[in-house]
Every structure is written in structure tokens, then in C-alpha cells.
């Protein structure tokens, strides 16, 4: 019984120390995500896409970099503001811009791509994937949730309420923030029960 409460406390604490990674989207009119990847994201971390021109952040797969992943997140085409995703798995998460031909000119981003970043970038641009002698992960089942603040243009897979937009994640996505808060509360209650 004690182990259950201690585990709850540790899980709650680990989510409190989550990192945020800022990604500039389309800065200075360029068709880029800067940086183009994050390699050390863990469960509970967030990635915040900061838009400064007409772009999007849409979840895709390694095999189809310029096609929206079924059930994946989609910021919608926006001109300003931010879109934040919460990492729910350390598996790779693949992202592209679906405005015009932006993906086909290499406007892609990845979370925890392993050895597959160059492959993802090449396939997005219609090139043959580079060959490598190393073995990397090819899993394309990353898990995230997202929210958006800013201006939408066009169609989005989100529900809009004034200036803040929250994405509608697909089936199977967990809301780490709510789960983390519940685990933190359970852990604190368990710790209190152990002390008194």
C-alpha cells in the first residue's frame, strides 16, 4: 500500500518539473520550424509553436510526412499566436505545415525522432530516404494533446471559443495535465495519510 502512494507522489512530482520547448513557426517569413526537432522530450513536457506568419502545425507520420495523421492534432492555418501540445509518450511525433506546398519544401518538425529525422525531411520533400548503417526506431505512434491561442484562417480540427482554441484530440489520446493533477492530488493525499 505504501508503494502505491509513494509512486503517486513521484509521478505527480515528475509532471510538475515538465519542460516547455518553444518552436518558432515561419519566423521572418521563412517556411521553417526553428528548431526543426526536439530530441529529449519526456511525458508531461510541452512544445509551444509560436506563429508569426500564415502556417500550421499538423501531426503526421514518418511514412507520410505531408498527410494528416488520422486522429492527430491540427492547429489550423493561423497567422499569429501559439499552439501547444503536451507530450504523452516518448515515441516520435511528426509535424508538418499544411499551408500550400510548405511541407514539400521541407517545413517539418519532429519530437524524439531518433535516427529518423533526415528520413522524415527527405520523404517530405519527395526524395528517397537517406541510407544509414545504424538502426533507429521507426515507430510513428507518438501521443500528444494540444491547445491553441491566436488567429485561425481556413479550416481547423479545433473548436473555437473567442481568442482561445482547444484542439479536439483523437481517440486514444490521454490528457496528461488532468491525469497528472489527479495523480498529484492522490499522491499528496497518500503522503498525508502516511504522516498522520
Which pLDDT belongs to residue 76?
97
User: Greater confidence, 102 or 3?
Assistant: 102
Which pLDDT belongs to residue 145?
54
Which pLDDT belongs to residue 101?
97
Domain ranges of the chain: 18-172
Q: pLDDT digits over 8-43, tens only? A: 334 444 456 899 999 999 999 999 999 999 999 999
User: Greater confidence, 165 or 85?
Assistant: 85
Tell me how far CA of residue 47 lies from CA of 42, 125, 136, 194, in angstroms.
11, 24, 23, 36
Q: pLDDT digits over 106-153, tens only? A: 999 999 999 999 999 999 999 988 775 444 443 434 455 555 554 443
> If you count them, how many residues does the chain have?
196
Distance CA 184, CA 11 (A): 7
Distance CA 151, CA 148 (A): 9
Percent of the chain with pLDDT over 70: 58
CATH topology of domain 18-172: Immunoglobulin-like (2.60.40)
Q: How confident is the model at residue 49 (pLDDT cuts 50, 70, 90)?
A: very high
Amino acid at each position: 500500500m505504501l508503494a502505491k502512494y509513494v509512486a503517486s507522489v513521484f509521478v505527480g512530482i515528475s509532471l510538475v518539473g515538465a519542460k516547455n520547448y518553444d518552436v518558432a513557426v515561419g519566423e521572418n517569413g521563412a517556411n521553417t520550424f526553428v528548431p526543426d526537432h526536439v530530441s529529449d522530450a519526456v511525458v508531461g513536457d510541452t512544445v509551444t509553436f509560436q506563429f508569426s506568419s500564415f502556417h500550421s502545425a499538423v501531426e503526421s507520420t514518418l511514412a507520410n510526412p505531408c498527410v494528416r495523421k488520422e486522429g492527430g492534432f491540427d492547429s489550423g492555418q493561423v497567422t499569429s499566436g501559439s499552439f501547444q501540445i503536451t507530450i504523452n509518450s516518448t515515441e516520435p511525433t511528426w509535424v508538418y505545415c499544411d499551408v500550400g506546398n510548405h511541407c514539400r519544401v521541407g517545413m517539418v518538425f519532429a519530437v524524439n525522432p531518433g535516427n529518423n529525422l533526415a528520413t522524415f525531411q527527405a520523404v517530405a520533400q519527395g526524395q528517397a530516404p537517406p541510407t544509414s548503417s545504424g538502426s533507429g526506431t521507426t515507430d510513428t505512434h507518438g501521443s500528444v494533446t494540444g491547445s491553441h491561442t491566436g488567429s485561425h484562417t481556413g479550416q481547423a480540427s479545433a473548436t473555437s471559443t473567442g481568442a482561445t482554441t482547444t484542439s479536439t484530440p483523437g481517440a486514444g489520446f490521454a490528457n496528461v495535465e488532468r491525469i497528472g493533477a489527479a495523480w498529484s492530488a492522490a499522491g499528496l493525499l497518500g503522503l498525508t495519510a502516511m504522516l498522520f
